Structure 1
Amino acid sequence: MSSNATNRREQLRRQQAAAAKQQRTTRIIGVIAGVLALVLIGVFAYVIVTSQQNKAESTPTNTALAAQIVPPNANADGNALVVAQGAAGTPTVTLYLDYQCPNCRIFENNFGQMLDQEAQAGTWTLQNKTMTFMDSNLNNTASTRAALAASCAATVDHYAEYHLEIYNNQETQEVRGSVGYSDELLRVTIPTKLGFTSDQLTTFQACYDGRATQDFVTTVDKGAYTDGVTGTPTLRVNGKDVNYSNVTSVAGLKELILASV
């Protein structure tokens, strides 16, 4: 056999081997591309579903805005909710809060009961001004929806305990973009736990679903900024800031409040 024939066969073998290798490479690339496509489809699907879930929590429901009402325990100016009315001539204690504010929850746990009990006893009038700036900080609507729910609870005479229960369900960590307080928690779980009657629950849910106190909540929030409040919790007595940063006891805060009149 001539050397030329041998060289041609060797050349043909190499060409066939190269072609087979290229074919295998092409198949592998195709498989990888297919897997990546499936992964991307899954990612896009997750993003869409998550977006829709967050959107569903952006407002209580998709029902039309109800006729606007002011809670029965609103103050005379319509820019705060009165927890308890003190005796004539006693000071007005105002607490500025945001339901997603961790320090507000701590303040409530430490001092809320005393503030409420003293107001019930007539020592002072206690009123809350609820803000919603944490919605922007955390990129959700939980502060607004919680404020709506609390004011709706006031329409069925359950404000104080509902207010506290919101804090009891505050997330342990601030997570930007999280739902915060779900509609299910606000409109079903909390009122059920607090023992709303059937009629009260119906009235409360109609108020929440229709956002019947939305104008009131907006007025309170804007009024807090007009008052010059830049952070929560802020405590004021007759409109004057109370610096409680060095207070270490419930008795100490009570003494400080009375000394600030």
Structure 2
Amino acid sequence: MSEKNRDGKRTARERLAIEREKQKAAEKRRRTLIVGASVACVLGLAAVIGVVAANAGKDDGSDSAGPVVAPSGALGEDALAIPVGKEGAKSTLTVWEDFRCPACKSFELAYRPTLHELTESGDLQIEYHLVTLIDGNLGGTGSRNAANAAACAQDAGKFAAYHDVLFDNQPPETDDAFSDNARLIELAGKVRGLDTPAFRSCVEDGKHDSWVVKSNDAFQKGGFSGTPTVLFDGKNIYEDRSMTPEKLKKMVQEANR
């Protein structure tokens, strides 16, 4: 074989070897890109999952984060009841109410004179539990915000008066006007001595929001059918369609003998 032919074959082999090395390098780069893309997808998916998980814990208006701060003087299990009336009264009326609930307003307006008479005489103590049923049914935060404001009024020793003002100024059920803290503060002006910097801060900061959520959870776990739920000696007297303020007064007087 001539020297020229040998050189040609050697050159061909060298070119083939070089091409194979190029193919190997290209394949290596391809595998690297695939792995990198896979890692990026995994990291991206993890980021999405993280965002979803974070958003799942955020307040959507029906729940509230933060510590549970009960209002001053709250009673009962988990301090969920706000008392109205003299300590040591022989009889207790337990009332579950929502400040957006029209039926609750009807109960309050019809029974208010009798309830005031019985609490002021020391014959009855009322334990109010605040509920956010309408927020859950119709959306919004008016039930919760009004309940928080009422708890702030309890801190100031003005719950009973502010409670009545809220029901006297209750908006239509579908109007979430009580979600506006400015409106709740405006109504506090109707109660002497309530509209103070401390009250405003309490309302605007949602100081008792988590407590309101916990109260509503207790209502749900209690299996009650709706608001108002009015319990006397463990019986829901509001379900008794023959019940009247006069009949309730007689029940209290008889129970206290």
TM value normalised by structure 2: 0.67
187, 190, 197: which one aligns with 2:187: 190
The alpha carbon displacement at 1:159 in A equals 0.4
Who wins on radius of gyration, i.e. which is larger?
2
Q: Which residue of 1 aligns with 2:173?
A: 174
1:31-50 superposed matches below 5 A: none
SS at match of 1:82: strand
Instruction: Note if contact 1:86-1:120 (Cα within 8 Å) is conserved in structure 2.
Output: no
Structure 2 matches for 1:48-59, cutoff 5 A? Answer: none
Map of 2:240 onto structure 1: 244
Cα deviations by residue, 1:200-241 (Å, 9 ceiling, x for unpaired): 611111111111112221221111222221211111013332
AA in 2 matched with 1:79:
L
Contact kept? 1:96, 1:232, Cα under 8 Å: yes
Secondary structure in 2 matching 1:93: strand
Where does 1:70-149 land on structure 2 (aligned, <5 Å)? 70-77=70-77, 78-87=79-88, 90-149=90-149
Write the letter of the residue equivalent to 1:185.
Answer: R
- Flag structure 1 segments of 5+ consecutive residues without an equivalent: 1-57, 60-64
| Structure 1 letter corresponding to 2:173 | E
Superposed CA deviations along residues 162-205 of structure 1, whole A, max 9, x for unmatched, are: 1111111112x332xx3332322102x112222326xx611111
**Structure 2 unaligned residues grouped into runs of 5+:** 1-59
Identity of aligned residues (%): 25
Q: Corresponding residue for 1:46?
A: none
What's the CA shift for 1:259? 5.6
CA distance in 2, matches of 1:218, 1:227: 14
Distance in 1 between residues matched to 2:236 and 2:253, nearest whole Å: 13
Distance 1:68 1:222, change over 3 A: closer
RMSD: 2.5
Structure 1 position 80, deviation (Å): 1.1
Q: How many residue pairs end up in the alignment?
A: 192
TM-score (structure 1 length as normaliser): 0.66
Q: Secondary structure at the match of 1:174?
A: coil
- Distance across 2 between alignment mates of 1:75 and 1:108: 21
Matched-pair contact (CA < 8 Å) for 2:74–2:82: yes
Matched with 2:216 is 221
SS at match of 2:189: helix
In structure 2, do the counterparts of structure 1 residues 151 and 102 end up closer, same or farther at CA, with 3 Å as the change threshold? same
